[in-house]
Amino acid sequence: MQKKLVQSSLALSAAAALSLGSAFVASPAMADSAPQKLDLQSEAQIQKALSGIEGVNAYGADSGELNIGVAKKTSEIKDLEKKYDNVNVTEGVKELKPYEKNDLVGGAGYLVNAGESGGACSTGFSGWDGDGKPVVLTAGHCSKIINEQTNEFEGDTTVDQTEQPSTSEANGGEGFKPSKNGVIGKWGFHNFGGDLLEGADQDKWPEPSESDIDFAVINVDESKYNVKNGITDWKTADSDDLAKSTQEISKVGAHKEGSIQKSGRTTGQTEGEVLPRSEYDFDYQNVGGRWVHGFGVTAPIDKPFSQPGDSGGGVYQGSTAVGVISGGGDLDANTSFTWVADLDHSLEQSGTDFNLEKPGDETPEAPAAPKVDDQTIEPEGAITGKAEAGAEVEVKWEAAKTESEKTSPQAAEDGSKKVKADKNGKFSVEGPKAEGDYKFSATATVEGQESKTTEFDVTVQKDESESPAPAEREISVDPKEISASDFVKEDKGVTITVKGFDEGEKVTLKVASGPENVEGITLDETANENGAAAFSIYGTSDSDPSAYLGKYNLDVTGANDTEDEDALNGSFEVVADEDGNGGGNGGDDDGNGDGSNDDGNGDGGSDLPRTGAELTGLAAGAGLLVVGGTAVVLTMRRKKND
């Protein structure tokens, strides 16, 4: 449906400045729960209805529907929208301010007085200082009376009026004609470079300093001018109101390589390229006999980035303010060159507190709407979604109505719950108990600001399908018997492979017993996507392999084991070289350590990552088990040979 705005709405008095309240109170005849229709037969009825409503910034009636535009839906407006099925509310419609010719934006021309003479510069960016006072940023050299022969300062200029845009050089005029809106204000902080670079001997020039900036602040007379965010593109200069067409500036930041724009009273809106450091690796430039901190910009000679009079003009990339014009000239026969005083550096060095929104007037940005997909859950199952970290999320639901249930919902309950999103923005709430289809909504609140509402569908039903049988657990010890001389070789040793655990489950191997009551040895590994894990054990004292002789009994358990779930059991034996067969008779244990399921391949699951344990035989008969770089004492006595 085409929405129409009644033209008279922009001329409503303060009394009808659209505050919501009593206009939509239902009469006794409307007390039933069925949806109501608002009577829209005449403009008078509409005006009467709107007279008590707050926050309405646009409205229109069409084909029996009332369309209302608001900046943000209040709970009162939401109730209104729900109550009347012919009232439609559109969010995000802001109050408009009338344009004024004394709105001061970036890129405009202004005049300065220098004794008996004067000149013209350009505003950079408009905003407010820390006390909420209006200010304009520009170039520092515009505040100085400079001797053209010696470059010496001969005093400060005074700020005069803005320049009439329609007569500016950027609009094809001769310029220097005052707007008659009055003097802009007075200089606040203002600085142009450092000490004068005198003489031809550059070795005697002063070293550049971080404080060598070309930057000034104009404290604006708010009785004559309003500062307004944005930088003009000069498209509305003929109307003498540059604020009608602007690029919004949302932040101050560092410049980047690539395309860049500026706005000024001589050349208007122009575009150039930031000189990359690889071509112009300098932070300071000699501008008018003084060092100035900044960066370079190039443009074609026939479409220069800046010209005299653009000084102080705002330089920006997208919606980021990055500098003000300092100086310029020709780089070569085909290329113009401009030096830009970088704004982030200038603000820091000057100690200027600059704000693009008036302090105290900022409207906190509403949080993003929660992200929640349609879901099917079991009764009282978890409904999951994502919002801003730490947001309070309100989740509501009501039983969905089928075509045959227009007035009587199915046997499922309505409800709501609030939950806080975690540090990653994830949240979950317990869903309804009754089976059925539900219409859900989720709204996030952060620092008192409410997001738009996300709607989604949830089906609650029991899972009738049988759960798949868990994989049978297996253990494989390879080899089951190993000679002492092989056991002390790292590339041999014994490999224990287990299967049938959950992916990501912590699996623990314990040497339950061993020669002369060996105990207390444990190894941990994480089951892979196939539910398998592997361990390896070997000795390191090749000087005395006989220290390891004996049988080792193993228990393997998982972190997800239930009380009635038995550990997997396996074993291996280290034998004297004359008694052993050299190993290689590994196989799958059946849980009792007899290796009856041996497949004879002896691979032991060697393709899995293994957690290794080193058994280090000491001369005194003790051993160390090294696990992941930490050591625990293992008591072991040398086996006596009869």
Tens digit of pLDDT for each residue in 328-386?
A: 988 888 999 999 999 999 999 999 999 999 887 666 678 999 999 999 999 999 999 99
For residues 604 and 160, the model is more confident at: 160
Q: Is the peptide bond before 35 cis (omega within 30 degrees of 0)?
A: no
Provide the pLDDT for residue 468. Answer: 59
- Are residues 192 and 141 in contact, defined by beta-carbon separation less than 8 angstroms? yes
Give the Cα separation of 561 and 519 in Å (integer): 22
Mean pLDDT of the chain: 80
Q: Residue type for 34, please?
A: A
Kindly indicate the confidence band of residue 17, based on its pLDDT and cuts at 50, 70 and 90.
very low
Give the Cα separation of 168 and 460 in Å (integer): 69
Picking from 448, 462, 458, 435, the residue whose alpha carbon sits closest to that of residue 384 is: 458
Tokens linked to 381:
């199952």
Give the Cα separation of 400 and 405 in Å (integer): 9
Taking the model in full, what pTM does it have? 0.48
Provide the pLDDT for residue 493. Answer: 85
Give the Cα separation of 629 and 10 in Å (integer): 76
Within 13 Å, how many C-alpha atoms sit on residue 168's CB side?
36
DSSP single-letter state for residue 509: E
What is the strand order of the sheet 481-483 is part of?
Answer: 481-483, 568-575, 550-558, 506-513, 521-526
Tens digit of pLDDT for each residue in 539-595?
A: 877 788 888 888 888 999 999 988 878 889 999 998 998 876 544 444 444 444 443
- Are residues 484 and 541 in contact, defined by beta-carbon separation less than 8 angstroms? no
Residues 6+ apart with CB under 8 A from 255: 274, 295, 315, 317, 322, 323, 340, 342
Instruction: Look at residue 293 and tell me whether its pLDDT is greater than 50.
Output: yes
Q: What is the rounded average pLDDT of the residues 223-236?
A: 95
Cα distances (angstroms) measured from residue 203 to each of 282, 283, 288? 18, 18, 18
Kindly indicate the confidence band of residue 125, based on its pLDDT and cuts at 50, 70 and 90.
very high
Instruction: Look at residue 274 and tell me whether its pLDDT is greater than 90.
Output: yes
Provide the pLDDT for residue 73. Answer: 83
Picking from 386, 393, 378, 385, the residue whose alpha carbon sits closest to that of residue 431 is: 378
Bridge partners (DSSP) listed for residue 506: 526
Tens digit of pLDDT for each residue in 440-453?
A: 999 999 988 899 99
Tens digit of pLDDT for each residue in 95-123?
A: 654 434 578 999 999 999 988 888 999 99
Provide the pLDDT for residue 101. Answer: 56
Provide the pLDDT for residue 465. Answer: 64
- Are residues 136 and 228 in contact, defined by beta-carbon separation less than 8 angstroms? no
Give the Cα separation of 612 and 454 in Å (integer): 51
Provide the pLDDT for residue 467. Answer: 54
Residue 8 buriedness (CB in 10 A; 0-12 / 13-18 / 19+): exposed
Give the Cα separation of 190 and 121 in Å (integer): 14
Tokens linked to 295:
């960066």
Bridge partners (DSSP) listed for residue 552: 572
Bridge partners (DSSP) listed for residue 122: 109
Query: Phi/psi of residue 291, each to 5°?
Result: -70, 135
Give the Cα separation of 415 and 436 in Å (integer): 14
Q: What is the DSSP string of 268-301?
A: EEEEEEEPPTTT---SEEEETTEEEE-EEEEEET
Residue with tokens 């999320």: 393
For residues 345 and 9, the model is more confident at: 345
Residue with tokens 């105290």: 360
Give the Cα separation of 9 and 258 in Å (integer): 45
Give the Cα separation of 213 and 523 in Å (integer): 64
Give the Cα separation of 491 and 137 in Å (integer): 73
- What whole-number percentage of the chain has pLDDT above 90? 52
Provide the pLDDT for residue 341. Answer: 97
Tens digit of pLDDT for each residue in 518-546?
A: 656 788 999 998 899 998 888 877 788 88
Q: What is the rounded average pLDDT of the residues 154-180?
A: 95
- Are residues 316 and 267 in contact, defined by beta-carbon separation less than 8 angstroms? no
Q: What is the rounded average pLDDT of the residues 397-424?
A: 74
Decide the pairing of beta strands 568-575 and 481-483: parallel
Bridge partners (DSSP) listed for residue 297: 274, 338
Give the Cα separation of 287 and 591 in Å (integer): 86
